[in-house]
């Protein structure tokens, strides 16, 4: 049985991990960050500033949460673990959880991609409960030199999790971060994957999200990527669920609309903070490996299994791989399609 006094461990101190953990700490939850040594030092020095979509700020002091880079200490006594590491680090983190967390821990995946909860279930003890989750909103982290570390929510949405632990949404919900259960969380993850097919175009454009979406050429590129994704999912009888009330099948149609109609119909889509950018752009800006293999890479795999082509997804992957670890630059739509 979990409650608002349960020991919650945030496994991953990136933008999403810091925002979720900071929101929970600001709501007086028992929050413990498992971090890398560098992030631990920075958070100990100055705490954490959370900025909500409406601009409200919460300075979460260092006495409001615990920090540790030693997994033996961080995971000891954990009742709930929120996994927010990059998809490529899932197997690494699952080994640490298996070794150091109690056997009855609830482990929640708040990661991009559709298979992380499956990976957790495969490698964790059967006595642990794994819950799939989806964070719909975008979070931007301040420059690493900024004090204190600031994470800013730039889009709207409600965190959704599987319904296999009925009391969990109430424990994880805060005034600034509502959490709800969903009966088809896997469908939600497939819907989010479609939305995340814009992560790479946004990163390659080097534009804020609002500016990129205002350009029909970029929207048509994203629509074509989504069409490839939908075709591959349909071939596997995968039915992506709505994300933020939008039917996945009509997303490409909306994105291809002329600018005037798009601004009217997609007004909510454009109601985002002008600083919003994709998490992949943040990876580019910090010289990190991206999650492209867990986004367009999934489309390629699904398509190939059914003998379908996904040429645009392959081109985007090639552009991203070439850009990883190099100075940021702005790509054009023609360059990506070439």
Provide the angle, in degrees to the nearest 10, between the axes of the packed helices 216-235 and 185-196.
140
- Report the first-to-last Cα separation within the chain, whole angstroms: 55
R_g of the chain computed on alpha carbons: 19
Fold of 189-337: 1.10.1040
Under the banding of pLDDT at 50, 70 and 90, the label for residue 96 is very high
Helix (H) or strand (E) holding 51: strand 48-51
d(CA 276, CA 288): 19
Look at 47 and 28; give whichever has higher pLDDT.
28
Choice between 155 and 330, residue whose per-residue pLDDT is larger: 330
DSSP 8-state secondary structure symbol assigned to residue 243: B
CA dist., res. 311 & res. 141, Å (int): 33
Domain boundaries, the chain: 7-183, 189-337
Q: Where are the alpha helices (DSSP H) in 105-167?
A: 116-123
260 token code pair: 């005037």
Class of domain 7-183 (CATH, top level): alpha beta
pLDDT (tens digit per residue) in 236-258: 999 999 877 778 889 999 999 99
pLDDT tens by residue, 68-86: 999 999 999 999 999 999 9
**pLDDT tens per residue, range 191-235:** 999 999 999 999 999 999 999 999 999 999 999 999 999 999 999
pTM recorded for the entire structure: 0.94
Mean pLDDT over residues 284-303, rounded?
A: 96
CA distance 332 to 337: 9
DSSP 165-184: STTHHHHH-BTTB-EEEETT
Give the closest residue to 28 by CA, choosing from 136, 165, 175: 175
Left if phi > 0, otherwise alpha if psi is -120 to 50, otherwise beta: which for 119? alpha
């Amino acid at each position: 049985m979990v409650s608002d006094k349960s020991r919650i461990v945030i496994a991953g101190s990136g933008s999403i991990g810091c925002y979720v953990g900071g929101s929970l700490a600001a709501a007086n939850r028992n929050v413990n960050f498992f971090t890398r040594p560098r992030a631990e030092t920075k958070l100990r020095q100055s705490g954490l500033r959370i900025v909500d979509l409406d601009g409200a700020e919460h300075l979460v002091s260092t006495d409001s949460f615990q920090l540790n880079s030693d997994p033996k200490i961080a995971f000891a006594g954990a009742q709930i673990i929120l996994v927010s590491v990059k998809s490529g680090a899932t197997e690494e983190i699952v080994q640490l959880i298996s070794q150091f967390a109690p056997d009855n821990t609830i482990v929640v995946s708040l990661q991009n991609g559709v298979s992380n909860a499956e990976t957790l279930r495969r490698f964790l003890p059967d006595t642990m409960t794994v819950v799939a989750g989806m964070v719909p909103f975008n979070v931007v982290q301040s420059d690493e030199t900024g004090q204190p570390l600031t994470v800013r929510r730039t889009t709207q949405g409600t965190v959704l999790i599987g319904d296999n632990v009925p009391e969990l949404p109430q424990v994880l919900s805060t005034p600034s971060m509502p959490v709800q259960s969903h009966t088809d969380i896997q469908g939600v993850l497939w819907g989010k994957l479609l939305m995340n097919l814009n992560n790479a175009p946004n990163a390659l454009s080097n534009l804020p999200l609002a500016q990129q979406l205002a350009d029909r050429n970029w929207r048509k590129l994203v629509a074509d990527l989504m069409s490839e994704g939908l075709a591959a999912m349909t071939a596997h009888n995968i039915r992506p669920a709505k994300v933020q009330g939008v039917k996945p099948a009509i997303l490409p149609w909306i994105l291809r609309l002329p600018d005037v109609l798009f601004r009217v119909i997609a007004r909510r889509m454009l109601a985002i903070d002008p600083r919003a950018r994709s998490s992949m752009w943040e990876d580019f800006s910090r010289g990190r490996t991206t999650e492209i293999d867990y986004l367009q890479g999934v489309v390629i795999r699904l398509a190939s299994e059914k003998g379908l082509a996904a040429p645009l997804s392959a081109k985007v992957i090639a552009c991203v791989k070439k850009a990883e670890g190099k100075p940021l630059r702005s790509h054009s739509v023609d360059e990506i399609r070439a």
